[in-house]
Amino acid sequence: MRESRTGVALAVTALVYLTAGAAEAEPIPQQADQQGATLSQRVDELEAALALLRSEYDERLATIEAQIAELRAADPDTIPDLSGAAEEAAADVAEEAMTDEERAELERELAQLLGEAGTDAAGGGEQDPDQSGARRFQSQTRNLNDLNPEISVTGDVSAIFADRAGDPEVNRFRFNEFEVAFQAPLDPYSGAKFFVVQEEGEFKLEEGFIDYNTLPAGLGVKAGQMRLDWGKLNRWHQHSLPQADRPAALLAIWGEEGLTGLGTSVSWMPPAFLGDYNEVIVQVANDDNDVSFSGRGFDQPVFLIHETNYFDISDASYVEVGLSAATGTNDFEGEFRTQVFGTDWNFNWAPPATALYRGFELRGEFLWQRRETELGVFNSVGTYTYGVYRLNRRSLIGLRGDYTQLPEAPGESLWGASPYFEWWQSEWARFRFQYTYGSRQLEVPEPEHRFYIQLTWGIGPHKHEKY
């Protein structure tokens, strides 16, 4: 009988402890003391803690009740009325578990979490210390830091040496590009990007657009000044190019500035129909290119379509194949048109276990231009291919081959080869050494040997983005 009474006492003590613990919910002030947590995170943590406490309490209470019932069935007369003692014990435990100051702090935190401090939580509150000296945090949908855009700066400097004199572009140091990038989400549905570059002492807006990338049905919309989605490298900014200069085919057909324009772009990711991923991009922009088109602006817009197909080959490799087409007028009267068609490809191999130290990429494009003139129709083609192999985490070697016919000089063509070595001091700074042989220059019909020593660096969250 004495053992039965001892068991009852132990059971009642455990019940009192659990009851007091459930009533006071000690994990709540512990979670509320986590400074810096957002309102939504703290609500989630509170709900999780209550659910866990409720589950443990129900399980242990059921065990204790079963023990009490077993004892009552064994000897009912020996079970005293313990309700008063239980209430007194619960009050003692609650008093020991939490001071008045802690209870007041808990009540304030609960009021905030339940919305009774809604005005502060909506964005008007500030971080003030309470009477105990601890800081209290209120949620703000857009605080001052959120309103500031992400700012990045990149620099690109080269020393260019050539075997001919008199060209102001060679045998000197050259600041290829200085770029300042501003990027920020506007809201959950859109973001904005602006890229201001300094070239040859002049500042200009290279790109500046708003991007709606969360539209339904796999749609996306951009509007503003853009580098158009022709192939791959046309989108890349100067500092992020895989070589020190752009391929000869792109220079011959699009010029130094590439294919750019102020306009709009609509992208669509349909269900996969060729490969594992597909994307279709349609763009309409002002005609700012005076190499293949007239350069007149929106009086004669440029229309472009680009389609991408992606294929997974293995865990370590994939292939991308793209198709592009662009058309626009090439004279001020709008009587003659130029059509450019192209395909681009990219094979990438990077073993998952050693992707930082080993890898290989093979990329290239083929372009065909059909140009109408008063003298008839002239066709020209151009292509480039380069391969780059990663030696280790910081070093790469590559080789690019070029061939292009010259649209503005029918019957003329050039070819070239460019081996190069690239070394990353860190993710912020890159050195590149490149030799280029060209069978002739775009302006001068004679071969040339060039040697580049290039340094690029980046500051900010977007250092060497391709675009």
pLDDT in tens, the chain (467 residues): 444 444 444 444 444 444 444 444 444 444 444 444 466 676 677 777 777 777 776 777 777 777 777 776 765 555 555 555 555 555 554 455 556 666 666 666 666 666 544 444 444 444 444 445 555 555 545 555 667 889 999 999 999 999 876 777 888 998 888 999 999 999 889 999 999 998 777 889 999 999 998 899 999 999 999 999 999 999 999 999 999 999 999 999 999 999 999 999 999 999 988 889 999 999 999 998 989 998 887 778 999 999 999 999 999 999 999 999 999 999 988 889 999 999 999 999 999 999 999 999 999 999 999 999 988 999 999 999 999 999 999 999 999 999 999 988 888 899 999 999 999 999 899 999 999 999 987 777 788 899 999 999 999 887 666 65
Note down the domain range covering 19. 2-136
Question: Is 94 inside a domain boundary?
Answer: yes
Give the residue among 110, 131, 143, 141 at the shortest CA–CA distance from 32: 110
Question: Is 189 inside a domain boundary?
Answer: yes
Question: Is 142 inside a domain boundary?
Answer: no
Residues 127 and 200 in one domain: no
Torsion of CA 120, 125, 128, 132, to 10 degrees: 10
Residues 180 and 108 in one domain: no
Residues 216 and 327 in one domain: yes
Residues 209 and 105 in one domain: no
Residues 163 and 132 in one domain: no
Question: Is 144 inside a domain boundary?
Answer: no
DSSP secondary structure letters along 363-420: EEEEEEEEEEETTEEEEEEEEEEEEEEE-SSSEEEEEEEEEEE-TTSTT-EEEEEEEE
pLDDT at 449: 93
Domain boundary among 112, 136, 160: 136
Give the C-alpha separation, 25 to 28, whole Å. Answer: 6
Number of independent structural domains in the chain: 2
Give the C-alpha separation, 282 to 274, whole Å. Answer: 18
Residues 336 and 223 in one domain: yes
Which residues have CB under 8 Å from 357's CB, separation 6+? 390, 392, 393
Question: Is 194 inside a domain boundary?
Answer: yes
Torsion of CA 115, 121, 126, 132, to 10 degrees: 30
Residues 42 and 178 in one domain: no
Question: Is 398 inside a domain boundary?
Answer: yes
Which residues have CB under 8 Å from 215's CB, separation 6+? 189, 221
Question: Which tokens in the block code for residue 212?
Answer: 């709606």
Continuous segment of H or E residues that includes residue 308: strand 297-314
Residues 76 and 101 in one domain: yes
Residues 42 and 168 in one domain: no
Residues 13 and 54 in one domain: yes
Residues 315 and 442 in one domain: yes
CATH assignment of the domain containing 249: 2.40.160.10
Count of Cβ atoms closer than 10 Å to residue 395 Cβ: 13
Could you tell me how far CA 372 lies from the centroid of its own chain?
42
Which residues have CB under 8 Å from 186's CB, separation 6+? 192, 210
Task: Give just the sign of the alpha carbon dihedral 187, 190, 191, 194.
Answer: negative
Question: Is 345 inside a domain boundary?
Answer: yes
Domain boundary among 136, 157, 181: 136
Question: Is 26 inside a domain boundary?
Answer: yes
Continuous segment of H or E residues that includes residue 310: strand 297-314
Give the C-alpha separation, 13 to 6, whole Å. Answer: 11
Continuous segment of H or E residues that includes residue 53: helix 39-74
Residues 291 and 316 in one domain: yes
Domain boundary among 136, 160, 176: 136
